[in-house]
């Protein structure tokens, strides 16, 4: 297989280019970019072609909510080494770009994670494209497994730091009712991708936050005010609004497959995307890890704390694609868009990610009929298959 910076011509049983299904086509990779996608018969007869056989090639998956992987939880190891382990674990599962996610913690730890992410991005560390800060500005009643004594309102120092210019996407999940008027607008104007989550706000307060610049919703249905007959809540506002995005955890535990299918029909096309909410166990042999000094364990395919409450997920994003397709009945191409093009658009990166087209980054995944990743490319670099060192 050609190494980084070397032209490669790839084909497989079928190719999904982000818009449509292709057969008897090839993808020509030149360095870090795709130079063309064409019918195979258009190639010169002597062109060497890497045929990936009975697989599907699709745009590399983009996960905006990755707490950990490869045995590492970002909150427990907020440094370059931790980021590298997490990114590699997800690359081996088909995710070629991640927003490492640091959850509610001390300001010092969150800033350490941000510094590590900034350094990794500056050095073009494969697969790391930004940072997701989930918390700590939450409604205490909707904190989930986030530690109670970490939950607080932002102060002037927090806001000054968050509003600093950064050359990469910064996503911030917060409860809008915990902020003073004008703060969401200030953050949004500074380029922060503000998402509502872990919120107990009513419909009107969420609508106000959308008007102020909330761009999306974090793990739709989970840890937010629900949709009821008389009060639409955050869920109703998220489903109704056509301008905002929403991430959803498709692990079969956080959201019932029928609820996922319903959300996909209700939300404006292109505005619902899949996330893994993956924790440290993903891509490792571990079946448990520590969060805030307490043991989190894999049980019946999901992660729970000692009280039996959900604590993140044990899936990769390609697992989410499989579940959305096979259990929720969503067409496979749409599932792949929900894991690539749509999150790319949310992150304002759709000009170079989420499609297999000339000029786009050569970020690709090939997977088999069981939705196991067989090959991945990040910026044209072919990476080790799952199970290989």
- Alpha-carbon distance 247 to 262, whole Å? 14
Residue set of the binding site for substrate: 145, 222-223, 230, 254, 310-312
Contacting residues for 81 by C-beta, under 8 A, at least 6 apart: none
Token output for 78 = 């907020």
Is the separation of the CB atoms in 244 and 238 below 8 Å? yes
Residue set of the binding site for Zn(2+): 134, 198, 219
Run of H or E residues at 120: helix 107-122
- Alpha-carbon distance 248 to 338, whole Å? 10
DSSP H stretches of helix in 190-311:
203-212, 233-240, 257-266
Nearest C-alpha neighbor of 243 from the set 358, 346, 106: 346
Token output for 68 = 């950990």
Contacting residues for 282 by C-beta, under 8 A, at least 6 apart: 68, 69, 70, 89, 90, 93, 276, 313, 314, 315, 316
In the chain, the N- to C-terminal Cα span, in Å, equals 16
Bridge-partner residues for 302, per DSSP?
A: 299
Is residue 54 among the annotated active site residues? no
Nearest C-alpha neighbor of 60 from the set 340, 324, 322, 277: 340
Token output for 53 = 């056989």
Residue set of the binding site: 134, 145, 198, 219, 222-223, 230, 254, 310-312
- Alpha-carbon distance 366 to 338, whole Å? 17
Q: Which listed residue (63, 200, 241, 277) is catalytic?
A: 277
Q: Which residues are catalytic?
A: 277
């Amino acid at each position: 297989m050609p190494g980084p910076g070397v032209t490669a011509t790839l084909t497989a049983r079928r190719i999904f280019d982000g818009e449509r299904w292709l057969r008897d086509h090839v993808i020509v990779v030149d360095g870090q970019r795709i130079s063309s996608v064409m019918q195979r018969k258009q190639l010169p007869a002597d062109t060497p072609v890497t045929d990936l056989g009975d697989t599907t090639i699709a745009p590399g998956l983009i996960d905006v909510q990755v707490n950990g992987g490869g045995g590492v939880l970002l909150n427990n190891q907020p440094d370059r080494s931790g980021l590298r382990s997490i990114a590699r674990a997800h690359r081996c599962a088909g995710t070629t770009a991640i927003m490492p996610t640091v959850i509610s913690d001390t300001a010092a730890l969150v800033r350490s994670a941000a510094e590590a992410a900034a350094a990794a991005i500056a050095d073009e560390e494969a697969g790391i494209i930004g940072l997701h800060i989930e918390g700590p500005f939450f409604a205490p009643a909707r904190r989930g497994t986030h530690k109670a004594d970490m939950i607080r309102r932002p102060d002037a120092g927090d806001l000054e730091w968050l509003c600093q210019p950064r050359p990469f996407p910064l996503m911030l999940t917060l409860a809008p009712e915990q902020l003073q008027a004008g703060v969401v607008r200030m953050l949004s104007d500074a380029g922060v991708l503000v998402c509502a989550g872990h919120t107990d706000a009513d419909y009107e307060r969420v609508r106000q936050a959308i008007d102020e610049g909330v761009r999306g919703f974090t793990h739709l249905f989970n840890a937010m005010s629900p949709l009821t007959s008389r009060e639409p809540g955050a869920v109703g506002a998220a489903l109704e609004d056509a301008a905002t995005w929403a991430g959803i955890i498709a692990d079969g535990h956080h959201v019932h497959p029928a609820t996922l299918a319903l959300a996909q029909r209700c939300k404006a096309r292109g505005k619902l995307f899949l996330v893994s909410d993956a924790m440290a166990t993903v891509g490792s042999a571990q079946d448990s890890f520590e969060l805030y000094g307490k043991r989190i364990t894999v049980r019946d395919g999901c992660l729970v704390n000692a009280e039996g409450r959900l604590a993140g997920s044990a899936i990769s994003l390609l697992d989410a694609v499989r579940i959305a397709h096979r259990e929720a009945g969503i067409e496979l191409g749409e599932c792949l868009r929900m894991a690539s093009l749509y999150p790319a658009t949310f992150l304002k990166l759709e000009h170079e990610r989420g499609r297999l087209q000339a000029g786009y980054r050569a970020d690709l995944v090939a997977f088999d009929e069981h939705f196991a990743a067989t090959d991945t490319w990040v910026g044209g670099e072919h990476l080790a298959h799952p199970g290989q060192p």
